[in-house]
Chains A and B, each alone.
Chain A
Amino acid sequence: MNSTRPQMVIILRYDIYLFFGGLFIYGANVSLICEDGGMDNGCRSQLLDSPDVTLQRENIAKGAAPIPARESVVRYQMSMKEDDYTYTQSLRVFVGTWNVNGQPPTVSLSDWLACDVEPPDIYGIGFQELDLSKEAFLFNDTPREEEWMFAVCNALHTAVEYKRLATIRLVGMMLSVFVQKQHAPHVRGIAVDTVGTGIMGKMGNKGGVGIRFEIYNTTMCFVNSHLAAHVEEYERRNQDYRDICSRMSFTKFRPPKSIVNHDQVYWLGDLNYRIVDVDPKKVKELIDIENFDPVLEYDQLIRQHNLNEVFMGYKEGKINFRPTYKYDTGTDNWDSSEKNRAPAWCDRVLWKGDSIKQLKYRSHPIMRISDHKPVSAVFESKVRVIDTVKYRKIHEEVMKKLDKMENEFLPQVMVDTTDVIFETLRFLEPQTKELIIANTGQVPVQFEFIKKLDDTTYCKEWLHIEPYLGSVRPGEKCDIRLEVYVDKRSASKLNSGQDKLYDILVLHLEGGKDIFITVTGSYERSCFGSSLETLANITVPVREIPIGKLMDMELENRKDGLENTVYPVPKEVWYLVDYLYRYGLKEANLFEQSGLHSELIQIRNWLDNGSQDALSSSVHSVAEALLLLLESTAEPVIPYNFHSVCTDCATNYQQCRQIIQQLPDLTRNVFLYLCLFLQELLSHSNDNGLDIKTIATLFGAIFIRDPPRSRDSQNSRTQQTLDRKKANFVYHFLVNDQSDLLAIT
Chain B
Amino acid sequence: MANRGGPGGRPNGTAQQQQGGGGGGRICQFKLVLLGESAVGKSSLVLRFVKGQFHEYQESTIGAAFLTQTLCLEDTTVKFEIWDTAGQERYHSLAPMYYRGAQAAIVVYDVTNQDTFGRAKTWVKELQRHASPNIVIALAGNKADLSNKRNVELDEAKAYAEENGLLFMETSAKTAVNVNEIFQEIGESIVGLFVLVVGIQICRSEQSRLNYVSKIVYSLWYRK
**Interface residues of A, Cβ cutoff 8 Å to B:** 15, 18-21, 23-28, 43-44, 47-48, 67-71, 74-75, 78, 217, 386, 388, 391-392, 395-396, 399-400, 402-404, 406-407, 410, 418, 450, 452-453, 504, 506-508, 510-516, 518
> Which 10 A-B pairs have CB atoms at the shortest separation, nearest pair first?
A27-B20, A21-B198, A515-B63, A399-B70, A513-B66, A26-B19, A396-B72, A514-B64, A68-B1, A24-B17
CB-CB < 8 A to A23: which residues of B? 202
Chain B nearest Cβ from A35, distance in angstroms: 23
Query: Contacts A27-B21, A410-B67 hold; do A453 and B1 have CB atoms under 8 A apart?
Result: no
Residue B63 contacts which of A43, A410, A516 (CB distance < 8 angstroms)?
A516
- Asked whether B19 lies within 8 Å of A71 as measured between CB atoms, the reply is yes
CB distance from B33 to the nearest CB of A (A): 12
| Chain B contacts with A in 172-210, Cβ cutoff 8 A | 194-195, 198-199, 202-203
Q: A27-B26, A391-B22 are in contact. Are A69 and B94 (CB under 8 A)?
A: no
Q: Is the CB of A44 within 8 A of B67?
A: no
- In chain B, positions 59-115 with a C-beta closer than 8 Å to chain A are 62-70, 72, 75, 77, 86, 90-91, 93-94, 96-97, 100
Task: Judge whether B215 is part of the interface by a CB distance below 8 angstroms.
Answer: yes
Given contacts A407-B67, A514-B63, contact A391 B23 (CB under 8 A): yes
For B86, list chain A residues within 8 Å (CB).
516
Contacts of B118 in A (CB 8 A): none
Contact A19 to B20, CB < 8 A, known contacts A71-B27, A518-B90:
no
Q: Which residues of A contact B66 (CB under 8 A)?
A: 410, 512-514
- Quick one: closest B residue to A23, CB to CB? B202
Bound: A94/B94 CA distance, A: 67
Asked if A78 contacts B21 (CB within 8 A), the reply is yes
Instruction: Evaluate whether A407 and B199 lie within 8 angstroms (CB atoms) in the complex, with A27-B26, A78-B22 already known.
Output: no
Which among A15, A43, A407 is the interface contact of B19 at CB below 8 angstroms? A43
A270 to chain B, nearest CB (A): 37
- Taking the closest CB of chain B, its distance from the CB of A513, in whole angstroms, is 4
Query: Could you tell me the distance between the alpha carbons of A399 and B28 in the complex, rounded to whole angstroms?
Result: 13
Specify which of B2, B63, B66, B77 lies most central, judged by the most chain A CB atoms within 10 Å of its CB: B63
User: Is B9 close to A, CB under 8 A?
Assistant: yes
Contact, CB under 8 Å: A515 / B23: no
CB-defined A-B contacts under 8 Å, sample of 19: A20-B75, A21-B195, A21-B199, A25-B25, A47-B21, A67-B2, A71-B27, A386-B23, A392-B72, A395-B72, A399-B72, A400-B70, A402-B70, A403-B50, A410-B66, A453-B100, A506-B94, A514-B97, A515-B63
Q: 9 extra interchain contacts, Cβ-Cβ under 8 A, other than A24-B202, A403-B68?
A: A21-B17, A27-B21, A28-B25, A70-B1, A71-B21, A75-B21, A395-B21, A399-B77, A418-B62
On chain B, the residues within 8 Å of A19 by CB distance are 195, 199, 215-216, 219
- With A21-B198, A21-B199 as given contacts, are A504 and B1 in contact (CB-CB < 8 Å)? no
Q: Which of B2, B90, B212 makes the CB contact (< 8 A) with A70? A: B2
Given contacts A44-B19, A395-B72, contact A25 B26 (CB under 8 A): yes
The docked-state distance in angstroms from the alpha carbon of A67 to that of B68 is 12
CB of B165 within 8 Å of the partner chain: no
- Contact between B24 and A515 (Cβ–Cβ < 8 Å)? no
Q: How far is the CA of A254 from the CA of B90 in the complex (A)?
A: 52
Chain A nearest CB, measured from B192 CB (Å)? 11
Partner of B97, one of A43, A396, A452: A452
B26 touches A406 (CB 8 A): no
Query: Contact between B2 and A513 (Cβ–Cβ < 8 Å)?
Result: no
CA distance A469 to B8 in the complex (A): 13
Q: Are B1 and A395 in contact (CB under 8 A)?
A: no
In the complex, which residue of chain A has the Cβ closest to the Cβ of B98? A514
Is A18 a contact partner of B203 (Cβ separation < 8 A)? yes
* Contact residues in A for B51 (Cβ distance below 8 Å): 404, 407
Say yes or no: is B3 at the interface (Cβ < 8 Å to chain A). Answer: yes
Q: Which residues of B contact A25 (CB under 8 A)?
A: 17, 20, 25-26
Number of interface residues of B (CB under 8 A): 51
A47 touches B22 (CB 8 A): yes
The answer to whether A403 and B70 touch across the interface, beta carbons within 8 angstroms, is yes
Q: What residue of chain A has the Cβ atom nearest to residue B72's Cβ?
A: A396
Q: Given the interface contacts A21-B198, A399-B70, does A515 sit within 8 Å of B62 by beta carbon?
A: yes
Which of chain B's residues has its CB closest to A78's CB?
A: B21
With most chain B CB atoms within 10 A of its CB, the pick from A386, A504, A513, A514 is: A514
Q: Does B4 contact A (CB under 8 A)?
A: yes
> Which one of B4, B64, B77 lies within 8 Å of A395 (CB-CB)?
B77
Query: In angstroms, how far is the closest chain B Cβ from the Cβ of A49?
Result: 12
> In the complex the two chains form, what is the Cα distance from A591 to B88 in whole Å?
51
Q: Which residues of A contact B129 (CB under 8 A)?
A: none
Pick from A47, A217, A512, A516 the residue with the most CB of B within 10 Å: A516
Cα distance A667–B128 when bound, in Å?
Answer: 50
Q: How far is the CA of A403 from the CA of B27 in the complex (A)?
A: 14
* Docked pose: A198 CA to B9 CA in angstroms: 56
Q: Distance in Å from the Cβ of B74 to the closest Cβ of chain A? A: 9
Please, how many angstroms separate the alpha-carbon atoms of A402 and B77 in the complex? 13
Question: Which residues from chain A contact B69 at a C-beta distance below 8 Å?
Answer: 403, 407
User: Does A406 contact B94, Cβ atoms closer than 8 Å?
Assistant: no
Annotate B1-42 by CB proximity to A: 1 below 8 A, 0 otherwise: 111100011110000011111111111000000000000000
Q: Could you tell me the distance in whole angstroms from the C-beta of B80 to the nearest C-beta in chain A?
A: 9
A516→B98 CA distance, assembly (Å): 13
Give CA–CA (A399, B216) in the complex, Å: 30
- When distances are taken between beta carbons in the complex, the residues of chain B under 8 Å from A27 are 19-26
Bound CA–CA A402/B68 (angstroms): 10
B100 x A20 contact (CB < 8 A) = no
Contact indicator B24/A395 (Cβ below 8 Å): yes
Closest B residue to A25 by beta carbon equals B26
**Which chain B residues lie closer than 8 Å to A392 at the CB level?**
23-24, 72
Q: For the complex, what is the distance from the CA of A175 to the CA of B106, rounded to whole Å?
A: 57
Nearest-neighbor residue (CB-CB) of B24 within chain A: A395
Q: Which residues of B contact A511 (CB under 8 A)?
A: 4, 9, 11
Task: For the complex formed, measure the closest distance between the CB of B144 and the CB atoms of chain A, giving whole angstroms.
Answer: 25
Pairwise interchain contact B1-A71, C-beta atoms closer than 8 A? yes
Shortest distance from the beta carbon of B188 to any chain A beta carbon, whole Å: 14
**How would residues 211 to 224 of chain B score, 1 for a CB under 8 Å from any chain A CB and 0 otherwise?**
01001100100000
A18 to B90, CA, bound (A): 46
- Minimum Cβ distance to chain B for residue A253 (Å): 13
- Across-interface contacts of A24 in B (CB, < 8 A): 17, 198, 202
**Contact of A504 with B26 in the complex, beta carbons under 8 Å:** no
User: Once the chains are docked, how many angstroms separate the CA of A508 from the CA of B63?
Assistant: 9
- The residue in chain B whose Cβ has the minimal distance to the Cβ of A188 is B22
A399: chain B residues at CB < 8 Å are: 70, 72, 77
* B65 and A513 contacting across the interface, CB-CB below 8 Å: yes
Name the residue among B4, B23, B212, B219 with the largest chain A CB count within 10 angstroms.
Answer: B23
For the complex, give the distance between the alpha carbons of A504 and B91 in Å: 8
Output the least CB separation between A514 and chain B (Å): 4
- B10, B18, B20: which contacts A508 (Cβ < 8 A)? B10
Q: Are A450 and B8 in contact (CB under 8 A)?
A: yes
Closest to B197 in A: A21
Task: Tell me which residues across on chain B come within 8 A of A513, comparing CB atoms.
Answer: 63-66
For the complex, what is the distance from the CA of A68 to the CA of B1, rounded to whole Å? 5
Chain A residues within 8 Å of B17, by CB: 21, 24-25
| Contact status of A391 and B24, CB under 8 A, knowing A19-B195, A453-B96 | yes
Q: How far in angstroms is the closest Cβ of chain A from B130?
A: 10
Q: A399-B72, A453-B100, A516-B63 are in contact. Are A217 and B22 (CB under 8 A)?
A: yes
Cα distance, A518 to B202, chains bound together (Å)? 47
